[in-house]
Amino acid sequence: MMNIIVPIKQVPNLTDELEINDEGTDLAHDMLQYVLNEFDEHALEEAVLIKESVGGTVTVIGVDTTGELDGILHLALAKGADKAMKITGDFTPGTPSHVQAQLIADAIRDMAPDIVLTGVQAADDRDGQMGPMLAAHLNIPYVGVVTNVSISDGKAVVHKEYAGGVMAEFIVTLPMVVGVQAAHQPPRYAPVSKIRQIAKTVRIEEIAGAETAQAGSTVRRMFKPEAAGHAEMWDGTPDEIAERIADLLAAKGLLKRTA
């Protein structure tokens, strides 16, 4: 049976207003709500699809940086994961991906995973690609920006997307790490009633972790984007608006008008 592991990460809800802390070096994490990284949700869906196709177990694991990881793990279980684990310790929100990758690799190395699927990236870090760092720590192959995974005879066939929509197919001998960009079907919905039931009945395994790795870089100062200009709205008929656009392009030297 396939031993499938899905590392997940908590990220700020990007629909919230993001504020910078008083020191100007990080986000004001106490003002934020955290959710499951969108790409990790696709990695979980792809893992469950593999389990449904060839059998196996799906284990979800994450570093508890906020004290609120349980809710995300319960969601993962409701979506089809079989086990949930969290790494606990003196971690803070915004713990870098380098640190989290080392912690997760140390936790899963002895579990001998056949395949590790994680989101291709996370928006909360400067180098938030967990997959290649995990592969380096585990000394196994990595393929990222993947949109489909199938398993047969101890090998994985993965579809990788390149710029311009070019697709490539790789055949990789397991074990391996996959950076999932999109599952080959939309992530499934988990009813709130099922999540609540799981929260009451399922125990999440805890692993004590100690921070040993260092972040890949240091932030000296953060700034919020500043408006550099404004938009001007034009009224009029389509012909009048087209004429004004042509005049503007001509004035900037982008269009040569003829009499």
Which domain CATH number covers 125? 3.40.50.620
Domain annotation covers residue 194: yes
- In this predicted structure, which of 85-94, 161-170, 173-182, 219-228 has the lowest mean pLDDT? 219-228
- For residue 150, what pLDDT is reported? 97
CA dist., res. 91 & res. 202, Å (int) = 24
- For the segment 68-93, the average pLDDT, to the nearest whole number, is 96
Residue 131 reports pLDDT greater than 70: yes
Q: Based on the structure, what is the number of domains in the chain?
A: 1
Domain annotation covers residue 10: yes
Domain annotation covers residue 29: yes
- For residue 259, what pLDDT is reported? 61
- In this predicted structure, which of 107-116, 129-138, 243-252 has the lowest mean pLDDT? 243-252
The boundaries of the domain holding residue 188 are 2-208
- For the segment 19-40, the average pLDDT, to the nearest whole number, is 91
CA dist., res. 120 & res. 130, Å (int) = 7
- In this predicted structure, which of 11-15, 38-42, 137-141, 227-231 has the lowest mean pLDDT? 227-231
Domain annotation covers residue 178: yes
Provide, rounded to the nearest whole percent, the portion of the chain with pLDDT above 90: 72
Contact present, 85 and 103 (Cβ < 8 Å): no
Structure tokens belonging to residue 27: 């986000």
**Which DSSP helix (H) or strand (E) runs through 11?**
strand 10-12
Higher local confidence (pLDDT), 16 or 148: 148
Contact present, 184 and 52 (Cβ < 8 Å): no
Phi/psi for 4 (5° steps) reads -110, 130
Domain annotation covers residue 222: no
Domain annotation covers residue 31: yes
Domain annotation covers residue 248: no
Contact present, 12 and 33 (Cβ < 8 Å): yes
CA dist., res. 120 & res. 144, Å (int) = 6
Tracing tokens 């080392």 back to the chain, one arrives at: 102
Distances (CA, A) of 100 to 9, 63, 204, 210: 9, 6, 18, 10
Residue 2 reports pLDDT greater than 90: yes
Domain annotation covers residue 217: no
